[in-house]
Each structure stands twice: as structure tokens, then as C-alpha cells.
């Protein structure tokens, strides 16, 4: 019995195996096979879905990190300004901002912007801060490029909050080699055909102290004044000082924008006026907020192309 049991077991096992095989055959015959196919199909589907997800992420990542940041928009428009002297009528101001050199931007990007500027032959060039992301050294290789730029009415610059993060004296020292006039709570008067206007630059609101009274000291009340101020929301204060126009940056337009919602995280100092043209105060002072060229924190832009602007200032005749 024991022997037969020993002999039998394999047989029984065989029977069991056979039975299992039959059951498998039964499953196959009775339509259970598609379950296995479904398993295979499900596995295949998951593989394809994963591949699609990776592909979509790669495309979206490429769009946000490569295409959008490299797709520069040149904004051009005309503003009528009643107090602009006739001698300066149709003056073309090239405005750019927020290069953030050292954070996925370098001298090649600066060279590209310089080529755009040179091609447009503006009368004046204004840069509204954040030439570097953190350290002055990131700007060094762009100094000859900045120095090569020419504008008959001058090249003007202010510091942005990022320019103070390293050693601001480093950025200031480098600007001295660029031919740009750095305005720190200061003004510069431009004369043309017996008439004059002033370009005024204020210090950054977070890491320094803007002082419009000091910046305006010595200027006649009625003189046309173009203000450069990194943070656009300062326009609510600037408007009471009689500026004729304010150019700003700082926000990067939000960098990441969602349709019907707007900028996801506009920075402090740029939450009210995020990008584009605004009219501020009772006198409707024009404020233009550039989306800037560079990026910070994350090397991406979404629905928020980098921007430079050519603004024509026209006398209201």
C-alpha cells in the first residue's frame, strides 16, 4: 500500500497535473484564454501608457525648458506722452530686463540680445535690473558685448534684487566697463536741440532703499522724466513724483502662466503689475513691465515667452 501510495502519488500528481492541464484547456476552450490575453494586453497597455507619459513629459519638459525660454518675443509699440519735448519726438527706447546671467543664461544669450539691439538701432537702451542671478562673475564674459552696444542718447541701467545677492560692488565695477550709466537714486539729463529730458533710476526696494526725492534733486518740476525701477508695483508710489513713464522688470511675467488664471507665482513687488502696459494713477502714468529675458529658481517658462521691447515715445502734438 505504502509502495503503491509512493507509486500512486506521482500518478495522482500526474492526474492532478493533467487535471490542471485539462482545466487550463477547459479555460482556453471556454474562453478563459482572453483573460491571459487581457493580462498581456493590460501589461502592454501599461507599457505604452508609461512610454506615452515619458514622451509627453519629455515634450512638455523640452517645451518649458528649451523652446519657450529660447523663443524671444520683440514687443514694439508707440506711446503718446504729452510732456515729451518735440526734439525727442519718436525717440526709440530699447527696453530689456532680467538677464539672470549664471542661471542657464550666458554670454551667448547676451550676444543674441545684443544682435537684436544692434539691428534695431535704438536711440536709447535701458536695462531694468537683474543682470546676474547670483554672482557678479557671471556677468564678466558679457562685459565686452554690453560695451559694444551703441545708442546716441545713452545706455542706462539700474540694479535688481538679484544684483545685490553676491557682492553688488562687483556688478557695479563691471558696469563701469560697459559704457552703461548706472543710476542708483540718481538722474541723468539728456540734451537735444535745446531741449532736455531726464532718465531717473531708483534703487531696489528689497535689498536697498529707493529714494525718489534724492534721485530727482535738482531737476526742474516740468522736465520730462523717464523712470527705471526694478519692481513694477513701486509705480503706485512713483506716480506721485510726477514721472512720465516707468519701465520695470522683476516679474518675468510670472515665468509660468496658466490660461484663465495667469501667473502662478508672481514675486513680491510684482504682484499687482505682472507684465505688459498699465496706466497708473489719476494721470494715467504708463508703466511697462517686461517679461525679461532670463529665468530664476526654475529653468522653465510656460506660456510666458522671454521679451525685449522697442518703445517709441511720441510727443502728443
Q: Which three cell numbers stand for residue 173?
A: 565695477
How many chain residues are in contact with Fe ion, going by CB under 5 A? 2
H/E stretch holding 155 reads: strand 155-157
Q: How far is the CB of 295 from Fe ion (least distance, A)?
A: 8
The residue within the footprint of Fe ion, chosen from 84, 91, 95, 98 (CB under 5 A), is 98
Q: Which is nearer to Fe ion, 107 or 130 (CB)?
A: 130
Q: Among 95-103, 214-222, 231-239, 257-265, which window interacts with Fe ion (CB under 5 A)?
A: 95-103
Neighbours of 154 (CB within 10 A): 15
223: Cα separation from own chain's centroid: 33
Tell me the backbone φ, ψ of residue 110, rounded to 5 degrees.
-65, -40
Pairing label, strands 181-182, 155-157: parallel
Q: Looking at residues 124 to 163 of the shown chain, list those that interact with Fe ion (rule: CB under 5 A).
A: 130
Q: How far is the CB of 220 from Fe ion (least distance, A)?
A: 33
Q: Among 20-28, 53-61, 90-98, 142-150, which window interacts with Fe ion (CB under 5 A)?
A: 90-98
Radius of gyration of the chain measured on its C-alpha atoms = 32
Q: How far is the CB of 128 from Fe ion (least distance, A)?
A: 9
Q: How far is the CB of 171 from Fe ion (least distance, A)?
A: 13
Pairing label, strands 257-258, 186-192: unpaired
Rounded distance between C-alpha atoms, residue 85 and residue 195, angstroms: 7
Q: How far is the CB of 130 from Fe ion (least distance, A)?
A: 4
Rounded distance between C-alpha atoms, residue 265 and residue 263, angstroms: 6
- 307 lies in the site for Fe ion, by CB under 5 A: no
Q: Which residues bind Fe ion (CB under 5 A)?
A: 98, 130
Amino acid at each position: 500500500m505504502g509502495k503503491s501510495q509512493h507509486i500512486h502519488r506521482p500518478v495522482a500528481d500526474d492526474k492532478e497535473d493533467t487535471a490542471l492541464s485539462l482545466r487550463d484547456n477547459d479555460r482556453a476552450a471556454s474562453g478563459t484564454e482572453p483573460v491571459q490575453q487581457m493580462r498581456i494586453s493590460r501589461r502592454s497597455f501599461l507599457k505604452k501608457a508609461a512610454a506615452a507619459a515619458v514622451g509627453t513629459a519629455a515634450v512638455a519638459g523640452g517645451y518649458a525648458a528649451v523652446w519657450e525660454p529660447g523663443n524671444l518675443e520683440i514687443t514694439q509699440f508707440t506711446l503718446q506722452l504729452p510732456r515729451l519735448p518735440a526734439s525727442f519726438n519718436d525717440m526709440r527706447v530699447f527696453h530689456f530686463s532680467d538677464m539672470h546671467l549664471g542661471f542657464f543664461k550666458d554670454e551667448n544669450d547676451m550676444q543674441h540680445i545684443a544682435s537684436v539691439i544692434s539691428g534695431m538701432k535704438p536711440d536709447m537702451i535701458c536695462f531694468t535690473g537683474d543682470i546676474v542671478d547670483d554672482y557678479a562673475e557671471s556677468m564678466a564674459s558679457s562685459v565686452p558685448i554690453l560695451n559694444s552696444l551703441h545708442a546716441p542718447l545713452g545706455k542706462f541701467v539700474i540694479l535688481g534684487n538679484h544684483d545685490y545677492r553676491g557682492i553688488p560692488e562687483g556688478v557695479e565695477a563691471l558696469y563701469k566697463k560697459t559704457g552703461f550709466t548706472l543710476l542708483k537714486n540718481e538722474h541723468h539729463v539728456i540734451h537735444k536741440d535745446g531741449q532736455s529730458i531726464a532718465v531717473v533710476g531708483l534703487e531696489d526696494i528689497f535689498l536697498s532703499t529707493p529714494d525718489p526725492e534724492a534721485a530727482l534733486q535738482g531737476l526742474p518740476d516740468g522736465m520730462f522724466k523717464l523712470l527705471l525701477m526694478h519692481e513694477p508695483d513701486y509705480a503706485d508710489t512713483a506716480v506721485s513724483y510726477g514721472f512720465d513713464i516707468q519701465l520695470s522688470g522683476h516679474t518675468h511675467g510670472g515665468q509660468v502662466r496658466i490660461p484663465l488664471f495667469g501667473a502662478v507665482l508672481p514675486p513680491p513687488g510684482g504682484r499687482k503689475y505682472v507684465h505688459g502696459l498699465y496706466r497708473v494713477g489719476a494721470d494715467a502714468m504708463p508703466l511697462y513691465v517686461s517679461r525679461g529675458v532670463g529665468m530664476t529658481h526654475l529653468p522653465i517658462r510656460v506660456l510666458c515667452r522671454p521679451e525685449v521691447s522697442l518703445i517709441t515715445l511720441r510727443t502728443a502734438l
